[in-house]
Amino acid sequence: MTMESVHEESTGGDDVRVKPRLVIFHRNMGFMGGAQRDLIVTLPEHAKRWSITVATLNAPQLLLDRCQELDIDVITPVTAWQRPSGPVAEVTVRAGRTARKAWRSLLPRLRPIMAQADAYCFTLGTGGIELIDIIPEDKPLFALIHERDKGIYDDVAQRDMEGNLRNSLVIKNLALSFLRRWDQRWHKRLWKRPMTAISANTPTSSRLLASSHRWPTTERWVAGHANFRDEHFRPADVGVLWPAVDPSVWPEEEPEQERKAWDAFTHKPAGPYLLTVGRACFMKGSKEAVQIAAACSLPLVHVGGGETKEMQRQAEIFGAELLIMPHIDEIEIAALMRNAHALIATARTEGFGLTPMEAIMVGTPALVVDDCGFTHTVTDGYNGRRLPWPDTEEGLNQWVEAVEEAGLQANREAWSKAGRERVLQRFTPNHQAEGMARAFAAMGVNVETTDLEMLPGLDPA
């Protein structure tokens, strides 16, 4: 049975099928990083299988608009929750404590909705596990923890663009000891919970999350494949639920609307350029991206904000031309991506890396560092280039050569074709929604599943 026929049965005809009810929780959709975009992208496919309510402490307009389109209710505080920052906030675990308080304030509105639900799901980027405090143990739960908290189990988020710690080692270690205790407390509770499946977004993320809590990992990297350790459906390992790329947002051929947006785009670079997308910082390898652009004598266009003043300073040091984009919409980002010479992705500890897959979809070569999540998506020389860190002369020279290769039309066409096929086979919203539905079905939820082929993810690609 196709999902189209399932959707038709659920909305009309003599044999009307009532869709099961799902409550999706997310702490902070306002951040709008990869995990948040992933949920917005997949909501239409989830909505074909479920009657959904989304609960979040910070709901950006993009989420509200998408949910209105899909007739999805959104539960959010009158005043959006904002993550506290700074050394004192870290030492006192203020983010977790204030989030927990905010979730409890929503309970009068959430309790009747949860009572009618057939299942719960929470999806987390980094942090937010304390929301399990308000989720009852009476219904199946799918816990999608994209990545372990980078601010707790490694220190990439606590370093400046040069790689130096922002605070003293004493403050860092003190903060981490409190944060880890807080985090592990909630993860222990999650592991003991009946009717629960736990997934991360790639094998790398799964292994890192599991190692932080001494959990096993799955031996199969099929989206939504769930294992349980007892008859109460307690989790046996950490599985995987791959992120999704929406083919309709990243079409192979330039749509008319995108062409018009590009023609009217006032910040258009004058000639060939390299592109980097994401919040400028040490974790995203912004300094290294500038270094590569300087070595290639090509302008670097940056989208995503962050530490842009420091990124500009790095550009001046290396003698690179850096163009910082203001806030632009999705169509303009797609046009920037399509018209770039190449996308540069040099992030540290990246769980998956959506932007290389998006670039590939529109025919732009993706040049990525051989690290973490990129090892599951880009096969060197097949659908892009996977390269060493540019911290040696030899490594930097390989990046320069790869940028030159990215200009060859034969490479651009071959890499895009192979990459697009990989996305359509494994990383669409339908694959993610189907994987989650199958995990819930394994826990006894009466949710429709289909015969969609679910290929194992690549470890490595």
Task: Read off the CATH number of the domain in which 79 is found.
Answer: 3.40.50.2000
Q: 433 and 415: one domain?
A: no
Would the pTM of this model clear 0.85, i.e. be above it? yes
pLDDT digits (tens, 9 = 90+) for 168-193: 777 777 778 888 999 999 999 999 99
Structural domain includes residue 249: no
Q: 348 and 432: one domain?
A: no
pLDDT digits (tens, 9 = 90+) for 333-375: 999 999 999 999 999 999 999 999 999 999 999 999 999 999 9
Q: What are the phi and psi torsion angles at 94 (to 5°)?
A: -65, -35
Number of domains present in the structure of the chain:
2
Structural domain includes residue 170: yes
Structural domain includes residue 461: no
Q: 213 and 336: one domain?
A: no
Range 207-221 average pLDDT: 95
Q: 293 and 368: one domain?
A: yes
Range 275-300 average pLDDT: 97
Beta bridge partner(s), residue 302? 276, 324
- Extended strands (E) in 222-347: 238-240, 274-277, 300-303, 322-324, 342-345
pLDDT of residue 309: 97
Entry field: residues in the chain:
461
pLDDT of 394 strictly over 70: yes
Beta bridge partner(s), residue 324? 302
CA separation for the pair 64, 130 (Å, rounded): 24
Q: 81 and 151: one domain?
A: yes
Q: 196 and 285: one domain?
A: no
Q: 275 and 337: one domain?
A: yes
Domain that holds residue 362: 256-425
pLDDT band at 145 (very low <50, low <70, confident <90, very high): very high
Structural domain includes residue 452: no
For the stretch 40-43, contacts whose Cβ atoms lie closer than 8 Å and that sit 24 or more positions apart, written own/partner, are 40/66, 41/244, 41/245, 41/246, 41/249, 41/429, 42/244, 42/429, 42/432, 42/433, 43/67, 43/70, 43/72
How far is C-alpha 452 from the chain's CA centre?
Answer: 23
